[in-house]
Chains A and B, each alone.
Chain A
Amino acid sequence: MSGTTATTQAAAVPARVFWTALAVVGALLLLTYLVAFDNGAVSQSGMLLHELMHDGRHLLGVPCH
């Protein structure tokens, strides 16, 4: 079942679109990480980004504290 699905998709999606989509997904997940989980380790901004996003993180329902 999953095998057939994968082949159908691979045949339908050109390689350039696939790699662009993969890069886009990576960039968007990084953005999500910076908003929802960063505490300075990745952004090197200390706790600044973390504190700035504090209210948004709480009200979007992301685990915090």
Chain B
Amino acid sequence: MQSFIQILLRGLLAGLVGGLLAGSFAYTVGEPWLDRAIAVEEAQAAAAPPEPDGHSHEEALVSRSGQKAGLFLATALFGVAMGGLLATAFALLRRRPRAPGGVRSALGLAAAGLVAVVLVPALKYPPNPPGVGDPGTVTARTVSWLLLVVLGLLAGWAAVAAHRALRTAGEAPRAAAAAGAFLATVGAAYAVLPTFQEVPGGFPATLLWSFRLATLGTQFALWVGVGLVFAVLVERLGRSAAAPTATPVAVGA
């Protein structure tokens, strides 16, 4: 119990660091594109015929500068949540026999998080700036995106399971089986889940592409930050508690 709380606190701290790192990246690299997308959106709204009741522009609840400050709050809280989930997974998995050592599994789990929670959903449902996306389909898009996050995690699990199942085979066939299991799961998910093509005809392609790269960079900064900080903290915890530990820790294979 003690060790779970110790690991969890380190995960939350690593998440806060990763989240703030992601916020800094998003603020520097992403915000200029977000501003341009909003300008495009507003230009289109201004060109459209005004609302019959006369007020096409509603009062903003949070100003643009407020939203830019909220960016750091959002990435920090999201990072804390992801760091805590990573630490919980780490704490539960390390109790199993044959679990890899602390640093390796901390980094491995963060990499799995990046692939499963970010890359797998983003390739099917690329992130959109303001002005792209039909508000009428937002629920369907959100549900499909969440399903793909879960299926991405499942694909990661399938890869590990395939790798373990071929314990007697050589490393190359095991890696091939892991890759095959992962790609088969993701491919099936991509084929079954609906596709949404909602980019308006006149939307600037460079803006869309740069915005999407910036979102990937933001998530990359978050998960790399979380993984590295968590690995360092866990290693230090392992060293300081090396002698008097209550829980059996499986080190190495």
Contacts and interface: CB of A to CB of B under 8 A. Distances in A.
Given A59-B30, A61-B122, A36 B78 contact: yes
A24 B218 contact: no
State the main secondary structure of chain A at its contact with B: helix
B129 interface: yes
A24 B90 CA distance: 13
Contact of B96 (A8, A24, A32, A46): A8
B125 A12 contact: no
Contacts of B141: 63
Contacts of A1: 161, 165
Given A21-B88, A28-B85, A57 B96 contact: no
A21 B74 CA distance: 24
Contacts of A21: 4, 88, 91-92
A61 B85 CA distance: 19
A14 B1 contact: yes
Contact of A48 (B61, B121, B125, B218): B61
Interface string A21-65: 100110011011011110000000011100111111111111111
Nearest to B125: A63
A58 B239 CA distance: 40
State the main secondary structure of chain B at its contact with A: helix
Given A32-B78, A36-B78, A53-B73, A63 B23 contact: no
Interface residues of A, number: 38
B118 A61 contact: yes
B162 to A, nearest CB: 11
Nearest to A51: B62
A60 B226 CA distance: 15
B19 to A, nearest CB: 9
A60 B1 contact: no
Contacts of B5: 20
B175 interface: no
Interface of A: 1, 8-9, 12-14, 16-17, 20-21, 24-25, 28-29, 31-32, 34-37, 46-48, 51-65
27 contacts: A9-B96, A12-B95, A12-B96, A24-B8, A28-B81, A28-B88, A31-B80, A32-B82, A34-B77, A48-B62, A51-B61, A52-B62, A53-B70, A54-B62, A55-B71, A55-B74, A56-B23, A58-B130, A60-B218, A61-B122, A61-B215, A63-B133, A63-B142, A64-B130, A64-B133, A65-B130, A65-B138
